[in-house]
Amino acid sequence: MPNIPLKPNNELFTDTQWQAIFDGGDNILVSASAGSGKTTVLVRRVIEKLKLGSHVDRLLIVTFTEAAANEMKERIQVALQDAINAESDEQKRAHFSQQLMNLPTSHISTLHSFCLSVIRKYYYLIDLDPNFRLLSDETEQTLLMDEALENVINRHYENEDASFYQFVQQFANDRSDEGMLRLILDLYRFSRANDNPDKWLNHMVESYQPVEALEDYPIFNEYTKPYILSLLADMIKYLEQALTMIEYTSLEKVEQLLKDDIAMIQAPIESLKQNQLTQAFEQIQNMKFARYTTVKKDHADYDQAQLAKSYREMAKELLGNAQKSWPTDPELTLELIAKSQEIIKIAVSLTKEFMVEFSQLKQQKSVLDFNDLEHFALAILRHEVDGVSIASDYYRQTFDEVLVDEYQDVNRLQETIISYVRKAENPGNMFMVGDVKQSIYAFRQADPTLFIEKYTQFAHDEGGRRIILAENFRSRKEVLDFTNLIFEQLMDQKVGQIEYDEAAQLKFGFTAFPSSEDFHTELLIYEKQAELDDDMADEFGIDDKTQGEFHVITNKIQELIEQKFQIYDKKQKKFRDITYGDCVILSSTRKNHLHLLDIFAQKNIPVQLADAQNYFQATEVQTILAVLKIIDNPLQDIPFVAVLRSPIVGLNEKQLAQIRINSKKERFYDAFLENLSISSGYQEKITHFYQQLLKWRNLAKRDSLENLLWTIYQDTGFLDFVGGMPSGVQRQMNLLSFISRAKSYEQSSFKGLYQFIRFIQMMQEKEHDLAKPVSEIKENAVQIMTIHQSKGLEFPVCFVVDLAKKFNQQDFKNSYILEEKLGMGTKFLDEQEIQYPTLPYLVINQLKKQKSFSEEMRKLYVALTRAEQKLYLVGTVKDKESMLKEWQKAAMQENTVLSPMLRLNADTFINWIGYCLIRHESFAKEVDESIATAMTIQHPAKFGIHFYQADQLVAPEQNSSESLAETSQQETANHQALDEYIQQMTKAYDYPLSTKTASYQSVSELKRLYEDPDEEKLNKLVWQNRWQQETQGYRKTSNELAMPRFMQEVKITGAEIGSATHKLLQLIDVTQPITPDSLHQLAQRLKENQILDEKLVSKIPYQHILWFFQSTLGQRVIQNAQSLKREVPFAMLKEANEIFQDFDEKESHMLVHGVVDGYFIENEQIILFDFKTDYFKNNIEETAKERYYGQLKLYSQALSQALQLPVSERKLVLLTHQKILDF
């Protein structure tokens, strides 16, 4: 291979990695399996190019996410710095330094960011106003799209267009126009994923062009006919296998039956080949298998007869598929196509109208969305002046190489954009990296066939070269063996879209893992037990339908922690105890994440939730939504009663019933008003609430939604209330996020409470959800995320859960279906309101199902390959018997790869996995030794299968009679003790002074006790006068309370900047290079997780933080990363008379608490440091020491007492002044 240097003997890269680093002179496609080190290879390739004299700004590196782009820059920065340090040649050092300087402005970004830079540079070529802003807020975009769509639809309703009403009838229903509106939006999104949306839409109309004969219809010839022929051929194969099963038996009648079946199937095959379509249709639709010959159980060949029958059943299933794929005769098929063309024309016309309307609304507001970036950039690149494309030529001359990461997730539009910036002639200069087995973004219009086409073509060196990275350096061999076992049987071109052959299989790369018997994959299966009634479910505390397997997971995690399961630490190169942070839970969707969160809270297991679905279904959010609804209109019974029943008012069911009994008014609100004047136990509650409601309704008319919500939270204390519930911090974040959403809504020029409620309802109806805000970043917590969110990550212990969740097949039931190449398939609704599927609908439906199931299969591959060391697969089945019955469908399969029919008929991960395990040689030992299979899979994979039922997970309550007896005894004891309690409570207290001071003091409140650094003993506070004794008591406090957030001014305070700076210093990873980019990236993550306010991100003094880590102390912090602790809370008891001078009560203690910014241990001594962002006008050192001496003294005492080590150094870091003071 040209230009590839000889690999040194000490080089750790594999041969194929080495080739991927150095191969060039043509287009290169690198198929990089999971854990194969593709990012490392990509970075090294860039560095090697720079070493040869190339410049970083002459490379275009396209990544899938901004995070990936930032990581790429950071890695290149580190590699360049290393190259500078290692290079002795001054000229080369200068070259590397120049590249380091150019790195921040280099073209390493997402494609959207690159497109934005193209537009900023060449906007004038397409007469685009450069004063636009990016429409990055989903709320504003959704509202604009809805407004545009409403405008288009209303115009057509007003025009009373008959053809439009026919279109409405086809896709709307008697309740709403939602189906029709969804179709237009779907067509818009599909069309915009192509480089020419109008052309794609027009092609849809052409595909319904009437023809005289079915054999002239392209879709029938290219798809339907070959598909039916393949089904019929597979039926014959199954029947021939059945004949093989009885070849040496005396089952003559069975043999003749099977031969008759084959002859019956041969007939339509011949008819189709001769284009006798009417005859072929009738033969297929009338085809019926005769009843199977009865063979008694005592017959010598009974088992063979049953095997033959199982193959015949498979053939019968395929017949059903063939009949469904062509349900109408040729004449009616053509008639439906012709009638549907007018419907398709209207759909295309409305979509184009919407496209124009939406574009005009965006133009009026001077905004562009992400899709606009791609289309405008492409328009610029295509624009020619005198036959020359100025922009395209510029970029083709600028870039020596175009590198695309995650190439499997590129769509056709993006591919076209890239084609205008890469070299147009051969040999090419494209370097594409990806893994089609991990293409899981079809919902973003990703097109894995682009990768597959090159993968196949480049295998023969046609147009480029293919390199395969198969070695996995992430996972233990046990994980890889199990993954290979599954996908060798599941994945091929028909389902999965790529062959899982020897080249695609995962190879064990990280050989440093010590051998152990503890790391085989385990299936944890929860049996629902259909007989488990509601009472039993209550007894065991398990919702049998959804939560059983969640208890399985939490029990297993607790077991691993308690038993100190050993994890191999790659960095320390030794085994260590497992921690919660080693575990991750992966699921297909976010649907059950909130349930998981509650169960983890019950078990006291720390958990970090990436986000969750059903944000609007969270109890606290639903409650506030109900409040807003009745502020807008209190005559709505359901939300009004919901608020009365909620903690905001607190009425119980009996009181609600009493309100209804007391009034004959129809609406509950009117009944409520009548009850205001009726004396009752709840009169005070409802009167108070009525006054609040009037106040809120008045406020809603004149103030913002943001202020309205803050007022509700303040008046009701609801924000504080939910903080005391399970997962309280998360619930508070949900309510704060709701305020942010309301603020964002109003900032997008949409106003009014009614419109906001309508917007939320629209989001709910469309099943669009808000991402659940992350409350905090936890270092040692179980991670919960979706499979999509986990892509690119790795975890020591991985639980893949909810394996019995059925694949989403709703798209296959709709009245229309869309596909990238064929366009739109539709059902036709006739005058009798009978729906007929058109031929394009049937073809696209089948193609989409194969693509959808292929993507589900790739999702499973991504999930399994996240595990480094231990893999758990968790699912729920009805019971063991029904599970095995389903899995035994695979037992008679004779080929390694399971039949497409079996794989496409399965609708859950757990069945796919079960099909692959049942033929493994160890399955019978693990589950059922009576299992018979047609072939046994010999494979090194090892696994265990464990079954759980409700009574094994949670111990039931005590016997009820025993509980009643205990309760009675307890009540007696309570009565006897009551008098003693009363006497104790009325007795004069022995320590009256202690009631006048708080027993809980913060360091910040006490720091002025230590103003004199030379005074070794604690100074003591003196009572100033008798009035202060009685009112303020013995507590040092701030004079003012912080104002509520909704009353604070917009201006950012120094304290807020200081808090944000401290947060960054707490969370920065000191084991990684600390650069301006890494600091900004961390701040952005904190902003996205709503930990930092957006306005604060730009105010953080990043240069001061960098100064600290470049200082001597900062370098010591980095060197002692293992013992480094940050933001460490402490509490210690101190005698009260140490604090207050004339406090003479003995044995009175105060709990002093605080948070130490940081410390590390060096030579068995504590080095304490504290950050301050204060600005001192004069006498910096003297003033700082006076102000903070006492605080550091208390910190020293607390740390020394807790760690039993001396504090040798106390450092005060003045970030603003870039000084470090010793105390």
| Ramachandran angles phi, psi of 588, nearest 5° | -70, -35
End-to-end CA distance of the chain: 65
C-alpha to C-alpha distance for 912 and 1147, rounded to whole angstroms: 68
Torsion of CA 189, 193, 199, 201, to 10 degrees: -30
Report CA-CA distances (Å) from 330 to 68, 211, 256, 787, 842: 53, 11, 33, 44, 14
Q: Is the peptide bond before 327 cis (omega within 30 degrees of 0)?
A: no
C-alpha to C-alpha distance for 770 and 842, rounded to whole angstroms: 35
Q: What are the CB-based long-range contacts (under 8 Å, 24+) for 970-979? A: none
Binding residues: 32-39
pLDDT tens string 1126-1154: 988 877 777 666 655 445 555 556 677 78
C-alpha to C-alpha distance for 333 and 840, rounded to whole angstroms: 10
- Three-state secondary structure call for residue 401: strand
| Ramachandran angles phi, psi of 544, nearest 5° | -60, -25
Pairing of strands 566-569, 574-577: antiparallel
Q: Say yes or no: domain 15-132+369-469 is CATH 3.40.50.1820.
A: no
Q: What is the DSSP secondary structure assignment for residue 956, as one 8-state letter?
A: P
C-alpha to C-alpha distance for 83 and 76, rounded to whole angstroms: 10
Cα of 108 vs its chain's centroid, Å? 24
Report CA Rg, the chain: 35
Binding residues for ATP: 32-39
Low-confidence ranges of the chain (pLDDT < 50): 1, 530-544, 771-772, 955-968, 995-1000, 1005, 1007-1048, 1141-1142
Tell me the β-bridge partners of 1021. Answer: 1140
Give the class (CATH, top level) of 1000-1222: alpha beta
Q: What is this structure's pTM?
A: 0.74
Q: Where are the domains of the chain?
A: 15-132+369-469, 138-365, 521-611+780-952, 619-717+732-746, 960-987, 1000-1222
Q: What is the DSSP string of 711-735?
A: HHHHHH-HHHHHHTSTTHHHHHHHH
Q: What is the DSSP secondary structure assignment for residue 470, as one 8-state letter?
A: -
> Which phi-psi region, left, alpha or beta, contains residue 859 (left: φ > 0; alpha: ψ -120 to 50)?
alpha
| Ramachandran angles phi, psi of 1144, nearest 5° | -110, 10
Architecture label for domain 521-611+780-952:
3-Layer(aba) Sandwich (3.40)
Q: Say yes or no: domain 619-717+732-746 is CATH 1.10.486.10.
A: yes
pLDDT for 540: 43
Report CA-CA distances (Å) from 940 to 471, 921, 926: 17, 10, 15
pLDDT tens string 134-185: 987 777 888 899 999 999 999 999 988 888 988 998 998 767 788 899 999 9
C-alpha to C-alpha distance for 270 and 507, rounded to whole angstroms: 46
Q: Do domains 619-717+732-746 and 1000-1222 have the same CATH topology?
A: no
Q: Is the dihedral of CA 684, 689, 692, 693 positive or negative?
A: negative
How many Cβ atoms are within 10 Å of 1197's Cβ, its own excluded? 16
Torsion of CA 550, 556, 562, 568, to 10 degrees: -120
pLDDT for 1054: 81
For 1125, the token pair is 């602790």
pLDDT for 1023: 32
Q: What are the CB-based long-range contacts (under 8 Å, 24+) for 293-302? A: 293/251, 293/253, 293/254, 293/257, 295/251, 295/254, 300/249, 300/250, 301/246, 301/249, 301/250, 301/251
Q: Is the dihedral of CA 403, 407, 411, 416 positive or negative?
A: positive
